Structure 1
Amino acid sequence: MALSYSWFDEKLRWNPADFEGRFKTEIDVTKIWRPALKLVSPSQKSERLDKEYDMAIVSATGQVTIMVNDIFYSSCAVKITYFPFDTQQCEIWLANPEYGKLLTFTPTSMEMDTSFFLDNPIWEVVKTSLKVVPTSYNFNFVCGIQIERRATFYTLNLLTPILILMVLNSMVFVLPAESGERVGFSVTLLLSVAVYMTIISDKLPNSSKPSPILAYVLVAYLGQSALICIKTILSLRMFYRDENIPVLF
């Protein structure tokens, strides 16, 4: 993640004419005052965004700008109810806990600059946002990002095979009862669904709250396949029933 933030420091102003027209310079961040920005919702240890090896760009007007290029680990709630057609909304909260409400933020844009984002084969960035959220003790700078899962892989490898099995399972009643293949056909499809669910269990998100609707659909289809197998056995039992045995009501 690349992040830049700036502020004005009156003590760092100078007249460019007194320094051979030099308007900008670079200073080690450890030698000047800078706000201690930290992640409010880190997934690991909370640390300052700027590091000791970063450099600050200072202009003659007193404007100080720090460019931060690093990997930040933040946590956010994930909703997988509509997996694999889910959309996630994640927010990265930044704050300065040292100064509280004495320090506020002013975003220069309402959206994040995504020109440096690398294309991801699993997720696609749909929308970004930048805003300031006040709390009782400070101001939080919130970077929001909305990502959408690319569902082509899951459609071809998860949904298409199960749809084919559903169609084949319903064709068991088309087979003539005299062929003797109904029970074997229905049992084979029941085992196919059971084996298929075992294979794709690693592809489904491991979450119980909430659970993806696709998991319930697969369990329902497994029950439906078992019910078709039972109906097939009962229908053949009635078809080959001895006509001399009276029917009891």
Structure 2
Amino acid sequence: MFPGGILKVKCSPDVAKFPFDIQTCSLEILPWMYTTLDTLFTAVASELDLTYYEVNGEWTVLETSIETGKKGDYSVLIISIKMERIPLYHIVNTLVPMYFLGFLNPLVFILPCDCGERSGFTLTMLLSYTVFMMVINAALPQTSSPMAVLSFVTFGALVFSGIITVLNCFQLRMFHRDESVPVPAWLVRLVKLLSCSGTRRRVKPDVVVNVENEEISSSNSVVTWKRVVDVLDIFYITVIYITGIIGTIVATVYLTSK
């Protein structure tokens, strides 16, 4: 009779590209108290026999190998298994919701400041990211060498949400400021630069300019606090979306690269 047994083994995973990671686990089998003078392993096949292998819903076996070698005075049998994680579950439950939250978060800057919903929206998104980060960390492997890039992505999204919350507080503060308080000169120059009002002038031919038109144009050129908020809202949402899209593309390309 040939005795058999079930062995439970572990290997140190490299989860840097989770959930698109590929793991290679090696199992070394040595004879107990028998040197190469007594026992010498010889591989009769170059690959494992997967006849009795049960298909796993999380991993796909890419390739296997069997090698023999020598470790000190002992003969060793090295069995290597290369596996690829099936990422569909984590894409649906982790990546897609995180990208969707990242798309919704900057939309706070298109809400009117006087509707009273901007603060609630930003705080709700911040809390959503906090809860979602806890869910993702529970699904991620608990290892720090190396740490999953997805952990850094979720942390960066949480920081972005916090920055958006702070910017929204300043926007509301400026919107409700008394118009009798003058806008600082540096902020006026910034608003004109962002809105291109200082460099672009639309001139209509054959228009008679009178004193009344000059008064209207001069009154329209005054930068108010509400004007500052409107211009900065457009600037913030543009910069945040561009930064988020670039970061998402870079992270996705890195994670999916083999």
Q: TM-score, normalised by structure 1?
A: 0.68
CA distance in 1, matches of 2:5, 2:34: 24
CA distance in 1, matches of 2:40, 2:26: 18
Structure number having the greater helix percentage: 2
- 2:94 maps to 1:158: yes
CA distance in 2, matches of 1:205, 1:99: 38
Q: Which residue of 2 aligns with 1:30?
A: none
Q: Which residue of 2 aligns with 1:105?
A: 41
CA distance in 2, matches of 1:172, 1:69: 63
- 2:27 maps to 1:89: no
Pairing of 1:65-214 with structure 2 (within 5 A): 66=2, 69-102=4-37, 103-214=39-150
CA distance in 2, matches of 1:203, 1:153: 11
Q: Which residue of 2 aligns with 1:215?
A: 151
Determine which structure has greater relative contact order: mean sequence separation of CA pairs < 8 Å that are 6+ residues apart, divided by chain length. Answer: 2
Q: What are the superposed Cα offsets for residues 3-26 of structure 1, whole Å, 9 maximum, x if unpaired?
A: xxxxxxxxxxxxxxxxxxxxxxxx
Specify the code of the residue in structure 2 equivalent to 1:159.
L
CA distance in 1, matches of 2:11, 2:127: 39
Runs of 5+ consecutive residues of structure 2 not aligned to the other structure: 187-258
Q: What are the superposed Cα offsets for residues 29-81 of structure 1, whole Å, 9 maximum, x if unpaired?
A: xxxxxxxxxxxxxxxxxxxxxxxxxx0xxxxxxxxxx4x54211223222222
Q: Give me the CA root mean square deviation.
A: 1.8
Structure number having the greater strand percentage: 1
Specify the code of the residue in structure 2 equivalent to 1:173.
F
State the shift of 1:247 in Å.
4.0
Q: Which residue of 2 aligns with 1:245?
A: 181
CA distance in 2, matches of 1:229, 1:165: 14
SS in 2 for 1:202: helix
SS in 2 for 1:201: helix
Q: What are the superposed Cα offsets for residues 136-189 of structure 1, whole Å, 9 maximum, x if unpaired?
A: 312211011111111111111111111111100021112233333222211111
Identity, in percent, stands at 34
2:168 to 220, 232, 241: 232
State the shift of 1:94 in Å.
1.1
CA distance in 1, matches of 2:136, 2:77: 40
CA distance in 2, matches of 1:208, 1:101: 38
Specify the code of the residue in structure 2 equivalent to 1:231.
L
SS in 2 for 1:245: coil
